[in-house]
Amino acid sequence: GVKLNIFADKPAQLAATPDQIAKHRNLVTQAVKTFGAQHYDHYDFLFALSDTQSGVGLEHHRSSENGVGPDYFTDWDAAVGDRDLLPHEYTHSWDGKFRRGADLWTPDYRTPMQGSLLWVYEGQTQFWGNVLAARSGLMTRDEMMGSLAYDAAMYDTRPGRQWRPVVDTTNDPTMSQRRPKAWTSWQRSEDYYVEGMLVWIEADSIIRTRSKGKRSLDDFARAFFGIRDRDWGEVTYTVADVAKTLNAVEPYDWATFLDDRIYKVHPTGVLQGFTNGGYRLTYTDTQTPYLKAIEKASKGVNLLWSSGLNLDKDGVVTQVMWESAAFDAGLAVGQKLVSVDGLKYDAGVLKDAIKAASGTKAPIQLIVSVNDQVRPVTLKYNGGLR
């Protein structure tokens, strides 16, 4: 069986409603329906609701360690950004633990692991994590559309895609070990997760279109992950095995498709899967409910698609979009906004200044501090909120 083992900082935070528990139970049902097999004799979700524990998501073959904020159940709407965590980690029992990239599997602890197929291990797990979050009811359709729009915008505007292929980012766990990067949008950082997911969305759209709706990536999942029911060993694969299984589902030049999307620089077309499905990414001056919830949870502000800034709850810059207005102004990670157009900084003041400057030629005047130094910064941005 599958057990959801929960602990929290306070007893009141364990107050899950019957409907919330039913959605988590349905996650198990939907996963088994999707993959068609189970690769464990028992499975345990170890689930911490805490602001003192780490926000971990760590997969094992027959369990996973998961940490979210303390209000996961009690402020359900605000916790939307956490509700794909359990589907993601559960998927790893099939994708990553049972089926494992051949160069990631090693016979002993002396042999270095290689992660060249993490775009399957994590990228397709990101895909199925979202699918299962929706199918189980953990996320509504609108919430999932908001999440996908957020991911689409992040990668459609990712300048690092101009020079670095997805497969090269599979070296990031070895090279940087998730340490902060000064220019994430240009350097890229483990992009095999989300851009990998976007590639699998495109693959799914190709299968659906060519088969006239008769087949989808679900058929790949059952063929690739749904073998050897109740076997919790490991079955390795290569990129050729992935292409072969895709071809068995829907004949197509999958080897070239994967080579173009994963192994070569592919600066455009990251939204093709959405386009094939009849969807279009648009920007407005009003936040989606999903983005509002993300900002509420982080207490920060995301202005990457307008001025090029991302800030934490204290006004400290956490990311600057490469070649954005903020980049041109000389803003950098670690600097703190002190004032905006003569007013003490807060997120609302900055957003109001961006609105006021929209359509004008007037720059936004900032005061920033770093260490013991304070300096003025002129932000030349007049495009409004996006």
Cα separation, 224 vs 227, in Å, equals 7
Q: What is the pTM for the complete model shown?
A: 0.96
Pairing of strands 309-311, 2-8: unpaired
pLDDT of residue 325: 98
Say if strands 43-49 and 2-8 run parallel, antiparallel, or are unpaired: parallel
Cα 161-165-167 angle, rounded to 5 deg: 140
Q: What is the pLDDT of residue 249?
A: 99
What pLDDT was estimated at residue 361?
96
pLDDT of residue 215: 99
Selection from 359, 375, 379 nearest residue 309 by Cα: 379
pLDDT at position 224 is 99
Res 179: pLDDT = 85
Distance CA 233, CA 195 (A): 29
pLDDT along the chain (386 residues), means of 10: 97 98 99 98 98 92 97 96 98 98 96 97 99 99 98 97 98 89 95 99 99 99 98 97 99 99 96 98 96 92 97 97 98 98 97 98 98 97 97
List Cα–Cα distances, 366 to 9, 257, 330, 369, 374, in angstroms: 40, 46, 12, 10, 10
Strand-pair category, 343-344 with 373-379: unpaired
Position 176 scores a pLDDT of: 87
Can you tell me the distance from the alpha carbon of 104 to that of 118, in angstroms, rounded to the nearest whole number?
A: 9
Neighbours of 377 (CB within 10 A): 16
Q: What's the rounded Cα separation, in Å, for the pair 67 and 55?
A: 4
What does the angle CA 184 – CA 151 – CA 145 come to, to the nearest 5 degrees? 165
Domain ranges of the chain: 299-379
* Sign, CA torsion 141/147/151/152: positive
Looking at residue 180, its pLDDT comes to 83
Q: Give the span between the Cα atoms of 339 and 46, in whole angstroms.
A: 43
Taking Cα atoms as reference points, which of 101, 58, 64 lies closest to residue 224? 101
Q: How far apart are CA 141 and CA 198, in angstroms?
A: 18
**Residue 213 and residue 206: Cα distance in Å, rounded?**
10
Alpha carbon distance 94, 88 (integer Å): 11
CATH architecture type of domain 299-379: Roll (2.30)
The reported pLDDT for the residue numbered 177 is 82
Q: Could you tell me the sign of the dihedral formed by the alpha carbons of 197, 199, 200, 204, in that order?
A: positive
The predicted-structure confidence for 177-204, as pLDDT tens digits, reads as follows 888 889 999 999 999 999 999 999 999 9
Contact assessment for residue 134 and residue 207, using Cβ atoms and an 8 Å cutoff? no
Stated length of the chain: 386
CA 134 to CA 143: how far, in whole Å?
9
